[in-house]
Amino acid sequence: MDTPKAPLLEVENLQVHFETDDGLVKAVDGISYSVERGQTFGIVGESGSGKSVSSLTVMGLTRSRNARISGSVRFDGKDLLGASEEDMRQVRGNDIAMIFQDPLSSLHPFYKVGKQIAEAVRSHRDVSKAQAWDRAVEMLGLVGIPEPRRRADSYPHEFSGGMRQRAMIAMALANDPKLLIADEPTTALDVTVQAQILELIEHLQDEFDTAVVVITHDLGVVAEMADDIAVMYAGRIVEKADTNTIFAAPEHPYTWGLLSSIPRLDSPRDEDLVPIAGRPPSLITLPSGCSFHPRCPYVREAHKRIDPKLEPVPGHPDHEVACLLPPETRRRLWAELQRGVKPDAARQGVMREEEAA
């Protein structure tokens, strides 16, 4: 008999609020997701959506005097939120590793790259300095840095942007973690280098069977890499599904907006990009009802009062969405949008249809 294995990472109703002089900042307001071993999970959202804070919280890096954290985070069966600081320290860089957006500012400018990687190794493994150094060189080679032994002796500012990010990846994977969290790993890099880095992550993931969480604002980044995607807005997950579904049959207006605002090679040249109107909301005073309603082209009166819950789409239990529009309406709207109709026109078209029905 085969009992299904528990997910590697299980986040349940995670809430992270910060008390500040100006009010309570609800950075993360009740999100749940899970990541299986060896899988890739994408979290997509704008700045301020809470995507980074949620992952930092998984690592225990948001604990502070003014932070109010609740919910549950289980990693490999272990509770992380309630774990002691020493327990968390042993998890970080060892079972779960994280890489960040700007590799230049994320590496210490005064220490050689090899030393920083060796440091990561020695804080979790009982090895000699020489052995740790060898491991550092080995990792640098693995991430595709030429002449790794010489490079380990260099300082971060002597590397190019792409090589620095590779070095960060080397450092993160040095202790063979089960989960790698990549927070905007390519945002600070040139476009050509971006593809290389993503490829590298995928390759290493295959080789070491590491689970990966990719956090980004760019749907294009997760299109190829992720198995499942969660779309975050204003501290909540508004849509969650496997990658194919997100791109083929998304159901949340915000996701539609994200998809439409990506410039595509195959769209007509003189076609306008359709940005999402408005700005991200304040996390202290969130809009009433549905958080997205001020920017949603299909908003109705009720949406200003009722807060949508994340619920499965009828017939697709693994596809969840938090939207008050009836599923049929959403499907019709998406059909219109796919044909190239602009949101306003789509809304008018579908509403007319509904009144007629």
Partner 1 sequence: MSTGTGASDLLQAEDSGIDELVAGEGPVAARSPLQLFWRRFRKDKVALAAGTFIVLLVLVAIFAPLIRKVFDIPNPNDGNTAALDDFGLPSGPSSQHWFGVDDLGRDIFSRVLDGARVSLLVAFVGTGLSVLIGVTMGMIAGFYRGWVDTIIARLVDVLLAFPVLLLGLGLASACSTKDGCLGGALEPGLKVVITIIVIANWPYVARIIRGQVLSLREKEFVEASKSLGASNSRIIFREILPNLVAPIIVYATLFIPANILLEASLSFLGVGVQPPQASWGQMLSDASTIFQSAWWYMVFPGLALLFTVLAFNLVGDGMQDALNPKSSRSR
Partner 2 sequence: MAAYIARRLVWVVFLLFAITLITFILFSVLPAGDPAVARAGRQPSPELIESIRHQFGLDKPKPVQFINYIGDILPFVGHNGVYFGFSYTNNAEVLPQILDRLPTTIFLTAGAVVLWLAIGIPIGVISAVKTGSWLDRLSMGVALIFISAPVYFLGLVALYLFDDKIGKFPVLPGNSAYGQAHSFPEKAEALIMPWCVLAASFAAIYARFLRGNLIDTLQEDYIRTARAKGLSERRVVFRHGVRAAITPIVTLLGLDIGILLGGAILTETVFNIPGIGRYAYNAINVSDLPVIQGTVLFGAFFIVMMSLIVDILYAFIDPRVRY
Residues in touch with partner 2 (CB under 8 A): 59, 61, 65, 85, 89-94, 97-98, 100, 102, 105-110, 119-120, 123-124, 155, 157, 168, 171
Question: Which long-range contacts link 272-280 to residues 24+ away (Cβ below 8 Å)?
Answer: 274/342, 274/343, 280/46, 280/47, 280/48, 280/49, 280/234
Nearer to partner 1, 48 or 162 (CB): 48
Q: How many residues bind partner 1 (CB under 8 A)?
A: 32
277 binds partner 1 (CB under 8 A): no
Q: How far apart are CA 167 and CA 154, in angstroms?
A: 11
Binds 106: which of partner 1, partner 2, none (CB < 5-8 Å by kind): partner 2
62 binds partner 1 (CB under 8 A): yes
Nearer to partner 2, 52 or 245 (CB): 52
Helix count (H) and strand count (E) of the chain? 13, 12
Report the C-alpha dihedral over residues 62, 65, 68, 72, rounded to 10 degrees: 50
The identity of residue 1, as a single letter, is: M
* Residue 60: closest CA among 88, 99, 90: 88
* Residue 216: closest CA among 47, 98, 97, 37: 47
292 binds partner 1 (CB under 8 A): no
Taking the complex as a whole, how short is the minimal distance between the CB of residue 69 and partner 1, in angstroms?
9
- Residues 85-124, mask of contacts with partner 1 (x by CB under 8 A): x---------------------------------------
Among 284, 312, 340, 344, binds partner 1 (CB under 8 A): 284
Instruction: Look up residue 305 and give its DSSP letter.
Output: T
Nearer to partner 2, 59 or 222 (CB): 59
Q: How far apart are CA 287 and CA 300, in angstroms?
A: 14
Binds 18: which of partner 1, partner 2, none (CB < 5-8 Å by kind): partner 1
Taking the complex as a whole, how short is the minimal distance between the CB of residue 264 and partner 1, in angstroms?
27
Nearer to partner 2, 153 or 242 (CB): 153
Among 67, 81, 249, 341, binds partner 1 (CB under 8 A): 67
* Residue 239: Cβ within 10 Å count: 27
Among 2, 22, 266, 301, binds partner 1 (CB under 8 A): 22
Taking the complex as a whole, how short is the minimal distance between the CB of residue 349 and partner 1, in angstroms?
29
Binds 105: which of partner 1, partner 2, none (CB < 5-8 Å by kind): partner 2
Binds 187: which of partner 1, partner 2, none (CB < 5-8 Å by kind): none
Coil vs helix vs strand at 163: helix
Nearer to partner 1, 17 or 135 (CB): 17
Exposed, middle or buried: residue 68 (CB in 10 Å: 0-12, 13-18, 19+)?
A: exposed
Binds 123: which of partner 2, partner 1, none (CB < 5-8 Å by kind): partner 2
- The contacts of residue 226 (CB under 8 Å, 6+ apart) are 40, 41, 42, 214, 243
Would you list the DSSP string of 243-276?
HHHHHHS---HHHHHHHHTS--TTS-TTPPP-PP
Decide if 191 contacts 20 (C-beta within 8 A).
no
Binds 160: which of partner 2, partner 1, none (CB < 5-8 Å by kind): none
**Cα–Cα–Cα angle for 240, 241, 247, nearest 5°?**
110
Nearer to partner 1, 56 or 229 (CB): 56
270 binds partner 1 (CB under 8 A): no
Alpha-carbon distance values, 83 to 31, 74, 80, 88, 342 (Å): 20, 10, 5, 6, 49
- Binding region for partner 1 (CB under 8 A): 16, 18, 20, 22-23, 25, 27, 47-48, 50, 52-53, 56-57, 61-67, 85, 280-288, 294
